[in-house]
Structure formats: C-alpha cells, structure tokens
Structure 1
C-alpha cells in the first residue's frame, strides 16, 4: 500500500453535480504535473452525499447546470468543510458554476439571488445574453502565468468586491463582463474557462502547485504547451 500521509491531496468536489466539459481533466493534470516532479499525490473524489474533508491541499469545483448548481451550493454551505479548508489556507480552483457558488451570491435560473459559500468576494447574476465560444485573456502579471485560453458557455455576469482581484483581462470573449475574466483572493481562484482549463493552460496548473508546495522544478515543453499554443492561435485567427 502506498503511503499517502505526506502526499499532495487534491480534492475533487461533487463530480456527480459539477463536472461538465471534462472538468475532471483539472484533477488529472494537477496529479500528472506534480508526479512528473516527484511529488506524491492523492486524488480524493467527494460526492454530494459525502462530507468535504478539511485537510486537503487543492480543492477543485467544476461546472454544472442550474439545478445541480443550486444543490451543490446548498450542500457545501450546510457541510462547511470547504469554507473551513479555505480559511485554513487551502487552495481552491473553481470553474463556471463552481466559480459562482464559492462567491457571496449567485443567480438561479430566474435571476433570483441565492447565497454562495462566501469564500471569494464576488457576486454573480444572469446576463441578458449567453457567452459561448473561445476566450483569451491576459492573467494578472503578479501571478506569473501569462496568456490563457478556454471555452466559455454561461449566462453569468460577475462583479468583484474589494477583497478580490481580477484573474485576467479579456482579449477575446466575455468572461465576467466583457472586460475581465475570473477572480482570485489569496489562494482561491475562480474562472469561467472550461476546456478543461488546466490541461489547456499548464502554467495555471503550476501556479496552483506552487501555492501549495513552493518552488517547482521546470518541465520540458510537452503536449500541454503545444495544446495551449494551438488553441491560442486558433482563437486569435
């Protein structure tokens, strides 16, 4: 049996509710890029009937439809494990529906505001039009990631509060509001990027790993970097 007592613990939250557009790939690529550097890794799948463990390193939430999103938010609020983990310094990476529900509030399918988990200072509601298509954005230089790409499919419009910072500035697409995409606050990061986001943007995956393990050894360019460059060129063509 493998000793995972000192492993990097990646917690994939509610794959039965929040896992559209291949969001499991975010867990797979984090595990792969950690293990290529000799970092032992454990991936924990937490279904909506399970308690959320408080002692993970990286927590991942994906996208979902309106009703699963509401159910996920209600269960995460009642459970409290994710909020306690974030309070204790864990890293959280949330996509689309997951991004909205970790905020202070989000809108249901009739634009009624509902309470979120409250670990990211954002508020989301439904826009008049749906944002669908490739998105390109330049990440805040403080994060050292560069330009990212992804696929968005949402009606959400998201406003940042004073404690959150924009993840990136939109080059092409909609993101939060036609100007900025995503948000981060400490080691909590949210985005509308599917695709999945981390395999398409290896530097973003490495940012999450650095937040938990510190300095990383470099990896030679491989399929992840080629995918990023190919999608970036296609989106800007």
Structure 2
C-alpha cells in the first residue's frame, strides 16, 4: 500500500448491474454510500459494473438492487461468470447489500409458481418460491443490530431461510417480510445483507449505511477512522434529521 493510497483513503464501491437491477429507488443506496464516505473523510470510487464490463481491481463494497424478470434474464449469464468471485469476496468479508432480485440470486434458488427453477449462487442459505399474492407496502422490521429498519417491499417470491441463517430483522405485520409466514425479513451472512427493502433503504437507515462503510474501511485499512470536519458534521446531522422524518412518514403509511 503506497503512502498516496493511505492519504487518499480510497474506498472502491461496486454498483452491481445498475442498468438492469435498479428499481424503486435502489440507486439511492449508491448515492448515500458515496455521500457518507466523503463526509467521513474517505474518497469514494464508484464502479458501475454491467454485464460484459471489466471487473475493477479493488473492491471494498458491493451494492445490488432489484429488477424485473426481464432485467434478471439480461444479467444472469454474466452473473454466473462472476459467481465464484462473488462467493470469494463474501467469504473474505467484503460488505454487500443486495436488494430484492439480487437478494434472491444470492440465495440457493428461485422456483417460479409454474415450477421453473432458477439457481442462485448460494452466498445466503435461503431459497425462494413464487406465489400469486404480492407483499407490498411500507414495512417496519426490528433488528438486533440496527434497531427499527424501515423500507418498502414489493415482491411475490416467498423466501425461506435455512436453519442457522440470521434474518436482518423481524416484522410484526401478518403476511409480510420474507415469506408472510415466519415474521422474518432479509438475511445476514458474514457482512452480506440481503433484504426486500426498497425505498431506497439506506437514506432512511443510516445505521446500515455506517455498518457497510465501517466494514469496508476496516477490511482495507485495518480500522474505521472518520475524519469529520465541522461542515461535514453539520451535513451528517442534517441527513439524520431527514432520515428521521422519512422514517416517520413511511411508518405511518401502509403504502
């Protein structure tokens, strides 16, 4: 590691398939990470990786969004060429946030209501089964690590976690969350988070943003050491105020 790299404190963030896996505001997660990294005194470098692109030399964090079935079909071949690499990075502690469709693809498989099976890459011990009823609307879940997490789910797949896989949180509402049955939502494996929460998620939930940032910094530099100016502190406080207000509004509305 050169002195220049140390002084610049670069964090390389991969936005995974943003052309085709980016609905319901998921691109806001990338914007939030970029902004908060800068406010903490790091230099964010965002790599927009789409199918056929060269994989970046350095990867400190990966963010993936949701997509329509057509989007998944466009990226699936390239996705499987990167499967071993993604599994290696996950096992090595790279923090990742996978939303909806990418959450499903990071699991073991998705079986449609017609019985067609689409394999995942198995980073998360979970499988998904299609159903006719959609689970949709603003959702509050309770997480041991992040407190109350607020987002917007919109999915018809029922995701079931394997024994020993921790959910991101638990929901009180009936017929909501991973599968509408066991009151779980999302999953956490190592530093990988999978969730159905759109919205986008990270602007409303700064604790998750800071978890991803801290893990990325710790892995690359050995520690998360924010260098926050007075101006940056004021901006972080402002973002916190907006997050509180957005959470309040979302929690009060079913849709």
TM-score over 0.5 for the pair? yes
What TM-score comes out, normalization by structure 1 length?
Answer: 0.88
Q: Tell me, yes or no, if structure 1 residue 192 matches structure 2 residue 211.
A: no
- What does 1:40-189 align with in structure 2 at a 5 Å threshold? 40-53=43-56, 55-80=58-83, 81-108=85-112, 110-139=114-143, 141=144, 143=145, 145-172=146-173, 174-178=176-180, 179-189=183-193
Segments of structure 1 that go 5 or more residues without pairing to the other structure are: none
TM-score by length of 2: 0.82
Say whether residues 1:21 and 2:21 are aligned partners.
no
The answer on whether the counterparts of 2:113 and 2:129 sit within 8 Å (CA) in structure 1 is: no
Q: Following TM superposition, by how much is the alpha carbon of 1:134 offset from its aligned partner in structure 2, in angstroms?
A: 1.3
Partner of 1:135: helix, strand, or coil?
Answer: strand
Structure showing greater Rg: 2
Cα distance in 2 for partners of 1:181, 1:158 equals 9
Retained in 1: the 8 A contact 2:11–2:45? Answer: yes
Note closer, same or farther for the CA distance 1:45–1:115 as it changes in structure 2 (3 Å cut): same
Higher helix share: 2
Q: How many residues align?
A: 231
RMSD over equivalenced CA pairs, Å: 2.3
What residue is the counterpart of 1:232 in the other structure?
251
What is the distance in 2 between the residues matched to 1:55 and 1:87? 16
The Cα offsets for residues 11-51 of structure 1, whole Å up to 9 and x where unpaired, read as 00111110111211000001111211112111110012214
Preserved contact between residue 51 and residue 79 of structure 1 (Cα < 8 Å):
no
Task: Report the Cα distance in structure 2 between the residues aligned to 1:209 and 1:168, rounded to whole angstroms.
Answer: 20
Higher strand share: 1
Contact residue 165 and residue 188 of structure 2 kept, 8 A: yes
Counterpart CA distance in 2 for 1:216 and 1:225 is 25
**Hey, what's the Cα distance between the residues in 1 that align with 2:72 and 2:134?**
17
* Pairwise CA distance, 1:213: 2.3
